[in-house]
Amino acid sequence: MNGAILALLALFADSGPAEWNAGLARKVITPTESVWMSGYAARTRPSENTLHDLWAKAVALRDGQGECVVFVTTDLIGFPQELTDEVAARVREKHQLERRQLVLNASHTHGGPLIWPNLHVMLDPDPDAQRRLINYRHQLVEDLVDVVGAALADLSPATLSIGHGSAGFAANRRRPTPQGYRLGVMPQGPVDHDVPVLKIAAPDGKLRAVLFGYACHNTTLSSDCYQIHGDYAGFAQIEIEKALPETTAMFIALCGADQNPHPRGTVELAVQHGAELAREVQRVLADSLVPVRSRIHSAYDEVPLDFAAKDRSVYEEELNVENVYRKRRAEIVLAAMDAGRPIRHVPLPIQAVALGDSLVLVALGGEVVVDYSLRLKKEYPQTDLIVAGYTNSVPCYIPSLRVLREGGYEPDDSMIYYGQPGPFAESVEETVVNACHRLLAQVGVNLPSSETK
């Protein structure tokens, strides 16, 4: 057979329909001991009991050309970089998956355990409490590696389709006051109420899994709750799985860093918000969804984000303030300076995964404000773009330039609890967005010509 015929056959093979394979796995990751919970500095004691289990869930996808990606969702506050590095290295060794092929997302529930050492500035555990947290972290690594392997072992023919809905309980929480921006409810603030719904079914149409997202903090319950729980996202997954037996429901946290559930404060409200989200997911599943062609392209990078320069004297003064969290942050920053490793920037993981011809997930590390999602969707109007935060590591909040200049909790005060010098330099938004442009181009998605820089 001559070369021209072979090339023609290859062209038809590449352009023809190809079959998806999908594999699913899940594992309970609820702490087996009482542990310090994360998300609220106001808590004064470890967890007491459990409202419902926390889960790590994985879906492995393989396209017709053999390219794979594994999405892992977890009912957790967020991952430290060293943990995801360890998981990724273990997965590469055991399953030959590159870093770009593994997506690790946390729901950012404030009802789960502290993932040591992330956000440890919020508490000062005694040696036994710290031991429990470190033991949990070690077990979590094992559980995440196991759930990835189990999903890969479960691969079988599947179909994928995508749809979108909307849920209205997320409210912008950055309220301007005469004293500056404070946490509250800002009805006129930017929001993203989109609910993307990825349906994964068997070839006969039987629903196997649904991956859905929302841009909102999992903070319906406040610091006075000492029960382990997944907040509204946990309740939404429970409701979907009750209504659709034999289905795995997976929640992915989107860019909700400056969004809170409204109203909030009780278990009943967490159940209510979860039920609203679950109903919308089910409505979308029953509607006309768009098939996703069997094709995967993925890219991954870690981009340094610069902090604004501050003099050492700023942190030396913090050592003398009454606020214990500022003192702890100052000790961390000054210790790094004394060791000759001043904290001048933080690496931010950024990932792009293209499924089919137009569906693309941009997955950002950190607590990402909604401006990034709104901007990227506007810049890529022909692309079905899903923009997630809380993915691969959560080193701190990631403010837009607008939020950075406005000040307040997200760009300034939150940095104390993350042990970061903060705030960022004004280059932060363009650095993140330019990296997104670059990774999107690597997976075959380019800016419209009128927007290309």
DSSP state of 308: P
Contact between 41 and 325 under an 8 Å Cβ cutoff? The reply is yes
Percent of the chain having pLDDT more than 90?
A: 94
Mean of pLDDT values over 255-267? 98
Q: How far is CA 201 from CA 69, 150, 195, 206, 292, in A?
A: 17, 18, 19, 5, 12
| Cα 76 to chain centroid, rounded | 10
Neighbours of 98 (CB within 10 A): 13
Once rounded to an integer, what is the mean pLDDT over residues 246-253?
98
Task: Write down the pTM of the prediction.
Answer: 0.94
pLDDT of residue 8: 35
Per-residue pLDDT tens digits for 309-331: 999 999 999 999 999 999 999 99
CA angle, 242 as apex, 241 and 246 as ends, to 5°? 50
Report pLDDT for 451: 47
Residue-level pLDDT at 450: 52
Q: CA distances (Å), 55 to each of 50, 73, 233, 268, in order?
A: 13, 8, 11, 21
Contact at 8 Å (CB) between 440 and 360?
Answer: yes
Neighbours of 332 (CB within 10 A): 18
Residue 306 has pLDDT above 60, yes or no: yes
The domain segmentation of the chain, as residue ranges, is: 17-293+349-394, 310-338
> Looking at residue 422, what is its pLDDT?
86
Residue 16 has pLDDT above 50, yes or no: no
pLDDT digit string, tens, across residues 126-157: 999 999 999 999 999 999 999 999 999 999 99
C-alpha 376/C-alpha 383 separation (Å) is: 10
Q: How far apart are CA 265 and CA 219, in angstroms?
A: 8
- Read off the pLDDT of residues 77-113 as tens digits, 9 standing for 90 and up: 999 999 999 999 999 999 999 999 999 999 999 999 9
Write out pLDDT tens, residues 171-197.
Answer: 999 999 999 999 999 999 999 999 999
- pLDDT score for 124: 85
